[in-house]
Copies of this chain bind each other. A is one copy, B any other.
Amino acid sequence: MILTVTLNTALDITYQVPRLRAHTTHRVTEVTERPGGKGLNVARVLAALGHRTVVTGFAGGVTGTVLRERLAELGGGVTDALVPIAGTTRRTVGVVDADSGDSTQLNEPGPIVTTPEWSAFLGSYAELLREASAVALCGSLPPGVPVGTYARLIREARVAGVPTLLDTSGEPLRRGIAARPDIVKPNADELAGLTGSTEPLRAARDARRRGARAVAASLGADGMLAVTPEGTWRAAPPHRLVGNPTGAGDSAVAGLLSGLVEGVPWPDRLARAVALSAAAVRAPVAGEFDRVTYEELLGRVEVTESPAA
């Protein structure tokens, strides 16, 4: 199975409003609630691709209960191995304007994780690694979890012989990358934040030098760039797709990880990641993709090899 780790899960609440105007009062016209956090979205896409998937991380309080209920309701072959905590799982509130589709995001910081809870997670993580063919480490860290946590989880996976993909930002990314994950999947902003370079190829090469075995950077509508031991490739969708970009990055992670587990060569892995990412843009919510779009695009993603540096 493939394991995804989401230490800062969230109950994602979406509010539809006619148009958000700061410092005024709004009647919300529609409310939806979904289990959230990058790793949960990655797991759902992996399961839709036919992979047995287990999610771990933390869940607690009333929002944690609702999150687990919603995850179970969604079904789709994702096994819930979230570790219970006394604190309350955070909410995120996304306010979507009906006319433009523009979104305003409010993210709660997340619960405090206690030392015994953290130990319980580490024990569970070690157990789950025994069964795992790959592990994705996704998203931000909740308060109280050490900033070097992803580095630790990457080292433990390597000891267990399990390849890792890291998808985070800021200091957790910087620290994690130094522990030599097999793949990091930053977006252009995260890559620039890490390396100081806004030129993706230069930044991706820099990120490899910092410890990542391979860097697969998502470049929004331009597709992806991968700098790997096997070569350097760019992959672009045949045309731009209009829709909801939320979850596109998570779909790309699922594409990369499924390709890794299946032993697919890098150019095909990238094509899969780009096609899934574009198909996610055509789905209304994160963690889902439009299968028809995916299958249509898969053979039409243009992958070009770049010369070595």
Contacts and interface: CB of A to CB of B under 8 A. Distances in A.
A104 B24 contact: yes
A22 interface: yes
Given A62-B62, A62-B65, A93-B93, A108 B31 contact: yes
A58 interface: no
Contacts of A108: 15, 28, 31
Given A20-B23, A21-B22, 13 more contacts: A15-B93, A15-B108, A21-B104, A22-B22, A22-B102, A23-B102, A24-B104, A26-B104, A29-B109, A31-B108, A31-B109, A62-B65, A93-B106
Interface in A1-37: 15, 17, 20-29, 31
Interface residues of A, number: 27
A48 interface: no
A179 interface: no
- How many copies of this chain? 2
A302 B22 CA distance: 36
A103 B28 contact: no
Contact of A25 (B21, B23, B27, B107): B107
Contacts of A102: 22-23
Nearest to A66: B62
